[in-house]
């Protein structure tokens, strides 16, 4: 039996919803493989996997504190522990700090460059929850935050962050814009009522076409990076598999129903896994 308070903390960090940290994990892992020109070693795989889980959990704490007044007016978020008062703001911030420090301890085992870049990653993660108050496309801010494992991976493997890391980050940013716009489409009615800015609101009826263009751009960037690094057959097969998923997502979101958009969002980690699997398989068989 889980003690009631522990259960609330687990709910706060979305422990039963791993899709969130998987969205962060796959780009970080394929960046490790690309930076290392193959398998990067179990130490870095473990550091980035555990660090991703910890930082996503810490981000949930910070996000729920920042959004607690908004969340009470949104059907999907009204029962979150901080929103209902079951977990206090102080408790949530303390838990988030502990998780972030644990993730930082892992980064300390890598390189000085990765340690330095981790402060920028933390700053962006802290800033994101407030972006929706001031930025018409807060999903772009989230995209940078959710893509920062890529330069961190290059820093950990190579000791520097070159142009290739930023190209991969830009490609992943398109993917985040795609899936987080799907997520925003779920809450569009509630967000309009309470005055939150999201890409789903800003784009209006262009939301579905833009989501599909973002998927295409994400695939184009990944494919252009991988051509010449791994066998072309692997690149083509990966693009076809991921592209088929994007087309399936179109069938889920084209009517803009809450259920369809939420399902598309929750399935996006398979898109990321496909790109990682293609990367790892490509380096394995070349």
Task: Quote the CA–CA distance of 171 and 30 in Å, as a whole number.
Answer: 12
pLDDT of residue 74: 78
| pLDDT score recorded for residue 76 | 80
Contact residues for 59 (Cβ-Cβ < 8 A; gap 6+)? 96, 125, 128, 145
Those residues with Cβ within 8 angstroms of residue 249's Cβ, 6 or more apart along the chain or in another chain: 178, 182, 211, 215, 264, 267, 268
How far is it, in rounded angstroms, from Cα 35 to Cα 25?
15
Number of domains in the chain: 1
Q: Give the pair of three-digit tokens for residue 192.
A: 């309009």
Per the DSSP assignment, residues forming a β-bridge with 230 are: 227
- Residue 15 DSSP label: T
190 token code pair? 């509630």
Separation of alpha carbons 98 and 104, rounded Å: 10
| Residue closest to 149 by CA, chosen among 117, 174, 102 | 117
Q: Token match 């695939």: residue?
A: 219
Given a cut of 70, the residues of the chain with pLDDT beneath it are: 1-2
> Residues with Cβ < 8 Å from 1, sequence gap 6 or more?
none
DSSP string, 255-278: T--HHHHHHHHHTHHHHHHHHHHH
Tell me, what's the pLDDT at 180?
A: 94
CA distances from 53 to 125, 187, 228, 278 (A): 14, 25, 32, 22
pLDDT tens digits, 196-246: 888 999 999 999 999 999 999 999 999 999 999 999 999 999 999 999 999
Give the Cα-Cα-Cα angle 229, 167, 173 (nearest 5 degrees).
120
In whole angstroms, what is the distance from residue 130 CA to residue 123 CA? 12
Kindly report the CATH number assigned to the domain that includes residue 25. 1.10.357.140
DSSP-derived letter for residue 41 is -
CA dist., res. 142 & res. 50, Å (int): 20
Q: Which domain holds residue 223?
A: 4-285
Q: What is the pLDDT of residue 2?
A: 58
Q: Counting Cβ atoms within 10 Å, is residue 86 exposed (0-12), middle (13-18) or buried (19+)?
A: middle
DSSP assignments along 163-229, one per residue: HHHHHHHHHHHHHHHHHHHHHHHHTHHHHHHHT---HHHHHGGGHHHHHHHHHHHHHHHHHHHHBTT
| pLDDT value, residue 223 | 98
Q: What is the pTM of this model?
A: 0.93
Q: Which two tokens stand for residue 91?
A: 């408790």
How much is the pLDDT for 137? 85
């Amino acid at each position: 039996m889980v003690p009631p308070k522990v259960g609330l903390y687990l709910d706060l960090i979305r422990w039963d919803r791993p899709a969130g940290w998987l969205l962060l994990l796959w780009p970080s892992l394929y960046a490790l493989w690309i930076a290392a020109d193959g398998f990067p070693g179990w130490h870095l795989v473990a550091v980035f996997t555990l660090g991703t889980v910890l930082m996503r959990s810490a981000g949930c704490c910070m996000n729920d504190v920042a959004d607690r007044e908004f969340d009470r007016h949104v059907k999907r978020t009204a029962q979150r522990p901080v929103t209902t008062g079951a977990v206090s703001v102080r408790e949530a911030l303390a838990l988030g700090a502990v998780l972030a420090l644990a993730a930082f301890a892992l980064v300390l085992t890598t390189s000085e460059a990765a340690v330095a870049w981790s402060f920028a990653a933390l700053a962006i993660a802290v800033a994101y929850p407030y972006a929706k108050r001031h930025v018409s496309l807060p999903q772009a801010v989230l995209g940078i935050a959710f893509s920062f494992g890529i330069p961190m991976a290059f820093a950990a493997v190579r000791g520097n962050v070159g142009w290739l890391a930023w190209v991969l980050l830009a490609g992943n940013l398109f993917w985040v814009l795609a899936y987080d716009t799907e997520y925003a489409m779920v809450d569009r009615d509630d967000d309009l009522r309470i005055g939150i800015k999201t890409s789903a609101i800003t784009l209006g009826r262009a939301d579905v076409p833009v989501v599909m263009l973002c998927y295409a751009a994400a695939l184009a960037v990944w494919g252009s990076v991988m051509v010449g690094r791994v066998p072309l057959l692997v690149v083509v097969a990966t693009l076809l598999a991921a592209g088929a998923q994007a087309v399936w997502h179109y069938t889920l979101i084209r009517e803009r129903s809450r259920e369809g958009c939420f399902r598309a969002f929750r399935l996006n980690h398979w898109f990321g896994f496909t790109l990682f699997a293609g990367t790892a398989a490509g380096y394995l068989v070349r």
